[in-house]
């Protein structure tokens, strides 16, 4: 009898406890729904979405920095020549002392670079230095040396400063007229040469340019064996005029070669008599001034360019 009463009491007490726990859980979920999941159980943290992996960044080799050191540390005669070229082009009127880092020289270089669409930094790469010197070499007035002109005159017939200046201007005007008349033909001849040189390079050493200019053909073979590829080919007219066998042309050509991130500039003077094919054609190093001048003498060149 006593055991039966205990079971009845336990049965009555169990729903009350269950109801108490259920009511407490409901109130807790009502106050903070985020902690409850389905079935009254606390909800776990939401699954985190995997972050998308970033694509690998494309890498590019850094562009090679311009080479200004070669010109700044070149021999003094080369640095003086740059200042003389700037003076010839009316960019510089300071001393010709070889100091390329003086304020006046750097300003002159920057003015020249700006006029040619280059970065006006006031320092020259080797290729820019060659271009500057070649441009100055085409100015007719550079051939006139006032000191020798004065020495040749006698004291009794020495002209006044004003008359000497007038004579100089008149000479410059006549030379400019002759050069202007010949400029179109000279430029066309130089561009035709460059087309043949580029065709020779594109054909990997085949074409008339190699037969006409063996020095260039050898230069190309040497560059190829050294693992260098030929890049830009830029001509500058050195001289032009009538010769005993026809119109004679000499042109300085800057040839750029590349190997990896490094580049070098090379200069050759091409000389020939216009024709198809070219006649009496030769190529010289730009340093071989005597060889070029001898070729002009042998052809009886009458310059319309200088």
pLDDT in tens, 28-53: 655 666 555 544 455 555 555 555 56
Q: For the segment 256-277, what is each residue's pLDDT rounded down to a tens digit?
A: 999 988 888 899 999 999 999 9
Please give the span between the terminal C-alpha atoms of the chain, in angstroms, as a whole number.
142
Tokens encoding 227 = 């693992």
Q: Is the pLDDT of residue 304 over 50?
A: yes
Question: Of 3-7, 78-82, 179-183, 189-193, which range is least confident?
Answer: 3-7
Tokens encoding 96 = 């010709």
Cα-atom radius of gyration of the chain, to the nearest Å? 42
Say if residues 142 and 136 touch (Cβ distance below 8 Å).
yes
Q: For the segment 223-246, what is each residue's pLDDT rounded down to a tens digit?
A: 999 999 999 999 988 889 999 999
Helix, strand, coil: what percent of the chain each, to 5? 50, 15, 30
pLDDT for the residue numbered 139? 78
Instruction: State the Cα–Cα distance between residues 113 and 280, nearest whole angstrom.
Output: 36
pLDDT for the residue numbered 202? 94
Say if residues 306 and 175 touch (Cβ distance below 8 Å).
yes
pLDDT for the residue numbered 49? 53
Q: Is the pLDDT of residue 146 over 50?
A: no
Of 63, 65, 69, nearest to 123 (Cα)? 69
Q: Is the pLDDT of residue 18 over 70?
A: no
The CATH-assigned architecture of domain 69-142 is Orthogonal Bundle (1.10)
Backbone φ, ψ for residue 206 (5° rounding) = -130, 140
262, β-bridge pairs: 259
Which has more confidence, 186 or 273?
A: 273
Instruction: State the Cα–Cα distance between residues 198 and 205, nearest whole angstrom.
Output: 10
pLDDT for the residue numbered 115? 87
Question: Of 8-22, 165-179, 279-293, which range is least confident?
Answer: 8-22
- For residues 202-226, one letter each, b for 16 or more C-beta atoms within 10 angstroms of the residue's C-beta and e for the rest, the string is eeeeebebbebbebbbebbeebeee
CA dihedral 260, 82, 304, 175 (to 10 degrees): 150
Task: Read off the pLDDT of each residue in 176-196 and give the average, rounded to a whole number.
Answer: 87
Instruction: State the Cα–Cα distance between residues 294 and 128, nearest whole angstrom.
Output: 28
Q: Is the pLDDT of residue 166 over 90?
A: no
Sequence-separated (6 or more) residues with CB below 8 Å from residue 127 = 254, 256, 265
pLDDT for the residue numbered 208? 93
Task: Read off the pLDDT of each residue in 273-282 and give the average, rounded to a whole number.
Answer: 94
Residue 69: band (very low, low, confident or very high) from pLDDT cuts 50, 70, 90:
very high
Q: Whole-model pTM?
A: 0.49
Work out the percent of the chain whose per-residue pLDDT is above 70.
73
pLDDT for the residue numbered 148? 45
Q: For the segment 106-138, what is each residue's pLDDT rounded down to a tens digit?
A: 999 999 998 888 888 899 999 999 999 988 888
For the domain made up of 179-303, the CATH class stated in words is alpha beta
Q: Is the pLDDT of residue 56 over 70?
A: no
Question: Structural domain boundaries of the chain?
Answer: 69-142, 179-303
Sheet holding 246-259, edge to edge: 279-285, 262-273, 246-259, 229-243, 302-303
Task: Read off the pLDDT of each residue in 139-150 and give the average, rounded to a whole number.
Answer: 49
Average pLDDT, the chain: 79
Instruction: State the Cα–Cα distance between residues 61 and 48, nearest whole angstrom.
Output: 38
Residue 215: band (very low, low, confident or very high) from pLDDT cuts 50, 70, 90:
very high
């Amino acid at each position: 009898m006593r055991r039966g009463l205990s079971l009845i009491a336990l049965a009555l007490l169990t729903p009350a406890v269950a109801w108490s726990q259920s009511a407490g859980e409901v109130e807790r979920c009502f106050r903070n729904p985020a902690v409850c999941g389905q079935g009254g159980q606390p909800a776990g943290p939401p699954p985190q979405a995997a972050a998308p992996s970033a694509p690998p960044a494309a890498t590019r080799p850094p562009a090679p920095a311009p080479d200004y050191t070669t010109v700044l540390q070149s021999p003094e005669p080369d640095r003086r020549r740059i200042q003389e070229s700037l003076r010839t082009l009316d960019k510089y009127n300071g001393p010709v002392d070889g100091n390329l880092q003086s304020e006046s020289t750097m300003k002159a270089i920057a003015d020249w670079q700006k006029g040619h669409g280059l970065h006006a930094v006031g320092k020259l790469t080797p290729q820019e230095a060659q271009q500057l010197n070649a441009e100055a070499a085409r100015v007719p007035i550079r051939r006139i040396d006032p000191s020798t002109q004065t020495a040749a005159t006698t004291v009794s017939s020495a002209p006044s400063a004003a008359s000497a200046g007038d004579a100089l201007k008149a000479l410059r005007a006549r030379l400019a007229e002759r050069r202007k008349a010949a400029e179109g033909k000279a430029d066309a001849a130089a561009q035709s040469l460059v087309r043949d040189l580029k065709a020779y390079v594109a054909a990997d050493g085949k074409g008339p340019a190699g037969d006409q200019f063996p020095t260039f053909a050898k230069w190309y073979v040497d560059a190829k064996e050294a693992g260098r590829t030929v890049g830009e080919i830029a001509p500058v007219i050195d001289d032009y005029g009538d010769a005993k066998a026809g119109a004679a042309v000499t042109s300085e050509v800057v040839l750029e070669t590349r190997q990896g991130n490094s580049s070098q500039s090379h200069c050759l003077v091409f000389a020939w008599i216009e024709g198809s094919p070219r006649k009496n054609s030769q190529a010289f190093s730009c340093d071989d001034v005597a060889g070029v001048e001898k070729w002009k003498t042998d052809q009886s060149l009458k310059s319309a360019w200088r």
